[in-house]
């Protein structure tokens, strides 16, 4: 029996890799950049690399072509590019690699037991852990993507920053301390406490691997695209390079190295953001009212809002287009989608396995509490500063210049750094730009490492040690298995990253969050706080939450719909042909667009989305508002269908443990 | 006494019941209040955007200030929770542990 469960879980976990890879398959042409960017920012943790990827893959998409055709004036000369000084940038990258490798060598010496490997032996202080958790949130995504969004869409971009910041409240109040007190290494440890351990561990491992892998692929693809864009390193080389470093960190250094790499990166990122924000503040004379007055009266911003965002060719009387930049609705259009997204943030982050794992690295609940408060302080200031950088970029660089380099605005922070350092070509500009690029690189490395560790822990600790070996494995074997699993997970991530080059990674990130909020969060809550909760409830909650989130994303507008792509392409073809027929001579750019759109149309006219649809069935990009209640209901009713005496009797134990921390040392050996 | 009875004994201890009751009341009510406040942001911006357009200081409008207030709210709740946890919950836990010895 146990072998069968184990085999099944392993097989399913592995097939998740397959699903993840396939999932993005038909999205090769990617959604229109706007849609892509919106979903991206929605899940801002992975946003920047994802958005970078999305915008790149979206270039051939009809949406862009259509825009280029309707507003040919926009694309005059050669496309603008950002060119960091290669020598300085590579030097800084090398420095970061050298320092982090030093950390790995040091951490490897101290990693002897399974506890060392998964939780750094519980030897991280609350303050250090706070920096590491904050680091998990400050991804290249928020650093590059969010400031870009603000620089192009104003206050709607700033609204996005509230979600990740607020997600700490649920973690602080109801997740961190109870999990620290009752858990050990993984999500499976908490859920299997008073239920049938093998079944629950199997399902929990599956869910952890799903969430982490979706997230991981998105990050890998983003990393590859970012490096390609910044340094002209070929996509394959950068994915393999990032992947190799990530595998080295995790396999040799375990949680200790992963945590310290994250701390180093978080300090660099906070440092870079503070400097950039201060430079903007100095330029604005530390006068917020004056700064925003400049923003709303800037003619470039006014024109950008009128022409590019609202598409009012002739200014409507009585509309203050500058002030409009500070008003909601330029980017976020569907109110229900916003609420759904808000829900995913408020609950989803608390169900992310790689965040959950961080609570186990501190010695006590008090330290877990301290780490969340430190992380909240760091991230609040980080996101606030990012908003200043975003508005600063809009004011000092103009949105037109930013979107000329990258449609999604992802290069705003980098361009601002170059500008503030003295402009392109100057030594100051080169150094500052190189520094920010290196920080973005460190950010990607740190985030992917944490994900690999979380997925490996689920496979090695839950599946191998506890299901196959019945929990009877000595420390040496456990560490060995954990290392082999990390190597395997890391290598698979590299392979999938290579295969997913042209995929729509945005959907993957949306999936990760939706699954965490709808599958993991309800069962964690019930396990900790409801006496009657049992195995049936956990399994049905996890399965229904996960499946409904997956299913809704599959039929949502986030996926690519070839018929729609074809229709957009057709529109471009028709517009251009009409122009041609009218006797006008098309510019070279327009001819290219015409050619491209024709090919696009032929390629997509009979296509169907991955699940065989012509158009999305579910109207929202984020399934949270439906799938979260479904997850809760399934867990609730699934549990009531079966009664489990043992689970009820053992509630006293988990209740006492999670509230008081009694038996916490014991929890660390069981 | 079996292990199960030991846990049961602690769970029925008056100090534990008090700790649990206070914790639950505090944590869940603040969690719900803060979540409602947070969800007001997408609700107002989605359904009542004119409210966010009201200018308060120069070009700075109510929307911008409301977003900033979310940061203040989150930090405020965190500091208040840390204060109550350090003062009340940790003290009650300590008392319980002492009573059990």
When the pLDDT of each residue in chain A is averaged and rounded to a whole number, the result is 82
* A545 or B6, which is more confident: A545
Q: Please give the structure tokens belonging to residue A69.
A: 């055709």
Q: What is the mean pLDDT of residues B60-71?
A: 94
Q: Is A620 left (phi over 0), alpha (psi -120 to 50) or beta?
A: beta
Domains and CATH numbers, chain A: 2-561+608-667 (1.20.1730.10)
* A233 or A26, which is more confident: A233
Question: Is the pLDDT reported for residue B2 higher than 80?
Answer: no
Kindly list the residues from chain A whose CB atom is less than 8 angstroms away from the CB atom of residue B63. Answer: 155, 326-328
* A457 or A64, which is more confident: A457
Token look-up 């510019």 returns A587
Q: What tens digit of pLDDT does each residue of A490-512 get? A: 999 999 989 888 776 666 776 78
Instruction: Supply the pLDDT for residue A26.
Output: 40
Rounded Cα gap, residues B78 and A376, in angstroms? 8
Question: Is the pLDDT reported for residue B19 higher than 60?
Answer: yes
**Number of A–B residue contacts, CB under 8 Å:** 155
Q: Is there a contact between B30 and A659 if contact means CB atoms under 8 Å apart?
A: no
Per-residue confidence band for A80, with pLDDT thresholds at 50, 70 and 90 = low
Question: Is the pLDDT reported for residue A306 higher than 60?
Answer: yes
Question: Which of A172, A289, A342 minimises the CB distance to B78?
Answer: A172
Q: What tens digit of pLDDT does each residue of A132-170 get? A: 999 988 877 778 888 888 999 999 889 888 988 898 999
Count of H helices and E strands in chain B?
5, 2
Rounded Cα gap, residues A513 and A214, in angstroms? 9
This complex has an ipTM of 0.93
Q: Which of B54, B67, B68, B77 to mutate to test the interface with A (most CBs of A within 10 A)?
A: B67
Question: Is the pLDDT reported for residue A33 higher than 80?
Answer: no
Q: Please give the structure tokens belonging to residue A142.
A: 């928020």
* Residues 1-60, chain B, touching A (beta carbon < 8 A): 4, 7-8, 10-11, 16, 19-20, 23, 27-28, 30-31, 34-35, 38-39, 41-43, 45-47, 49, 52-53, 55, 57-60
Kindly list the residues from chain A whose CB atom is less than 8 angstroms away from the CB atom of residue B71. Answer: 162, 165, 380, 383-384
CA-to-CA dists, residue A325 to A181, A306, A310, A394, angstroms: 47, 10, 11, 10
Kindly list the residues from chain B whose CB atom is less than 8 angstroms away from the CB atom of residue A649. Answer: 4
Kindly list the residues from chain B whose CB atom is less than 8 angstroms away from the CB atom of residue A289. Answer: 57-60
* A31 or A666, which is more confident: A666
Q: Is there a contact between A173 and B81 if contact means CB atoms under 8 Å apart?
A: yes
Within an 8 Å CB–CB cutoff, is residue B62 touching chain A? no
Within an 8 Å CB–CB cutoff, is residue A329 touching chain B? yes
Min Cα–Cα distance to chain B from A293, Å: 6
Within an 8 Å CB–CB cutoff, is residue A438 touching chain B? no
- Residue percentage of chain A with pLDDT more than 90: 34
Rounded Cα gap, residues B96 and B90, in angstroms? 10
Q: Which of B24, B34, B64, B97 to mutate to test the interface with A (most CBs of A within 10 A)?
A: B64
Question: Is the pLDDT reported for residue A276 higher than 80?
Answer: yes
Q: Is there a contact between A380 and B71 if contact means CB atoms under 8 Å apart?
A: yes
Q: What is the mean pLDDT of residues A433-462?
A: 89
Q: What is the mean pLDDT of residues B43-71?
A: 92
Per-residue confidence band for B83, with pLDDT thresholds at 50, 70 and 90 = very high
Instruction: Supply the pLDDT for residue A70.
Output: 35
Q: Give chain B's length.
A: 101
Kindly list the residues from chain A whose CB atom is less than 8 angstroms away from the CB atom of residue B61. Answer: 323, 326-327
* A332 or A463, which is more confident: A463
Count CA within 13 A, CB hemisphere, residue A326: 32
Question: Is the pLDDT reported for residue A632 higher than 70?
Answer: yes
């Amino acid at each position: 029996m146990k072998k069968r469960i184990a085999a099944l879980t392993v097989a399913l976990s592995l097939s998740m890799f397959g699903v993840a890879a396939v999932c993005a398959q038909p999205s090769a042409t990617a959604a229109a950049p706007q849609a892509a960017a919106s979903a991206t920012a929605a899940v801002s943790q992975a946003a920047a690399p994802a958005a970078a990827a999305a915008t790149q893959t979206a270039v051939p998409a009809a949406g862009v072509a259509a825009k280029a055709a309707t507003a040919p004036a926009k694309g005059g000369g050669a496309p603008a590019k950002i060119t960091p000084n290669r020598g300085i940038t590579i030097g800084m990258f090398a420095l970061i690699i050298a320092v982090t490798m030093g950390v790995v060598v040091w951490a490897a010496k101290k990693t002897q037991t399974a506890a060392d490997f998964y939780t750094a032996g519980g030897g991280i202080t609350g303050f250090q852990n706070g920096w590491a958790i904050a680091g998990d949130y400050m991804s290249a995504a928020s650093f590059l993507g969010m400031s870009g969004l603000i620089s192009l869409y104003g206050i709607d971009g700033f609204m996005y920053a509230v979600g990740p910041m607020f997600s700490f409240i649920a973690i602080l109040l109801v997740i961190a301390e109870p999990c620290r007190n009752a858990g050990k290494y993984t999500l499976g440890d908490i859920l299997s406490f008073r239920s049938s351990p093998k079944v629950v561990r199997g399902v929990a491992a599956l869910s952890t691997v799903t969430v982490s892998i979706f997230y991981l692929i998105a990050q890998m693809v983003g990393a590859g695209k970012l490096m390609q864009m910044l340094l002209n390193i070929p996509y394959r080389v950068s994915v393999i390079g990032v992947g190799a470093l990530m595998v080295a960190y995790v396999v040799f250094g375990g949680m200790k190295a992963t945590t310290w790499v994250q701390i180093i990166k978080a300090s660099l990122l906070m440092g870079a953001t503070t400097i950039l924000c201060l430079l903007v503040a100095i330029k604005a004379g530390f006068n917020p009212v004056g700064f925003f007055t400049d923003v709303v009266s800037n003619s470039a911003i006014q024109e950008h809002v009128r022409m590019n965002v609202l598409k009012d060719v002739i200014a409507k009387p009585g509309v203050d287009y500058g002030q409009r930049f500070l008003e909601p609705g330029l980017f976020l259009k569907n109110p229900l989608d916003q609420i759904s997204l808000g829900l995913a943030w408020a609950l989803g982050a608390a169900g992310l396995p790689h965040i959950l794992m961080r609570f186990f690295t501190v010695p006590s609940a008090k330290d877990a509490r301290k780490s969340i408060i430190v992380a909240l302080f760091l991230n609040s200031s980080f996101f606030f500063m990012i908003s200043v950088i975003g508005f600063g970029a809009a004011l000092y660089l103009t949105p037109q210049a930013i979107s000329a380099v990258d449609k999604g605005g992802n290069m705003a922070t980098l361009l601002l750094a170059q500008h503030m350092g003295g402009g392109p070509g100057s030594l100051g500009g080169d150094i500052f730009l190189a520094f920010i690029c290196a920080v973005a690189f460190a950010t990607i490395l740190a985030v992917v490492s944490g994900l690999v560790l979380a997925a490996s822990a689920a496979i090695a600790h839950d599946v191998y040690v506890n299901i196959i070996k019945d929990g009877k494995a000595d420390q040496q074997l456990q560490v060995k298995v954990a290392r082999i699993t990390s190597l395997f997970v890391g290598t698979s991530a590299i392979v999938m990253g290579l295969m997913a080059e042209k995929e729509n990674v945005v959907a993957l990130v949306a999936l990760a969050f939706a699954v965490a909020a709808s599958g993991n969060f309800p069962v964690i809550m019930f396990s900790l706080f409801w006496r009657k909760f049992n195995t049936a409830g956990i399994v049905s909650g996890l399965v229904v939450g996960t499946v409904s989130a997956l299913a809704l994303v599959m039929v949502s507008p986030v996926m690519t719909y070839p018929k729609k792509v074809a229709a957009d392409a057709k529109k471009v073809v028709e517009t251009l042909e009409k122009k041609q027929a009218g006797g006008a001579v098309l510019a070279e750019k327009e001819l290219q667009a015409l050619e491209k759109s024709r090919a696009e149309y032929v390629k997509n006219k009979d296509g169907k989305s991955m699940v065989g649809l012509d158009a999305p069935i579910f109207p929202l990009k984020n399934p949270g508002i439906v799938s979260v209640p479904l997850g809760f209901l399934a867990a609730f009713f699934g549990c009531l269908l079966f009664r489990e005496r043992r689970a009820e009797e053992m509630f006293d134990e988990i209740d006492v443990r999670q509230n008081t921390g009694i038996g916490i040392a014991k929890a660390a050996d069981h | 006494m079996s292990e199960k009875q030991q846990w049961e004994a602690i769970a029925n201890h008056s100090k534990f019941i008090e700790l649990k009751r206070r914790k639950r009341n505090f944590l869940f009510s603040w969690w719900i209040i803060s979540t409602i406040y947070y969800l007001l942001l997408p609700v107002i911006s989605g359904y009542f955007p004119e409210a966010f357009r009201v200018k308060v200081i120069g070009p700075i409008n109510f929307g911008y200030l409301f977003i900033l207030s979310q940061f203040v709210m989150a930090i405020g709740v965190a500091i208040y929770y840390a204060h109550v946890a350090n003062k009340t919950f940790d003290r009650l836990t300590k008392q319980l542990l002492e009573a059990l010895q």
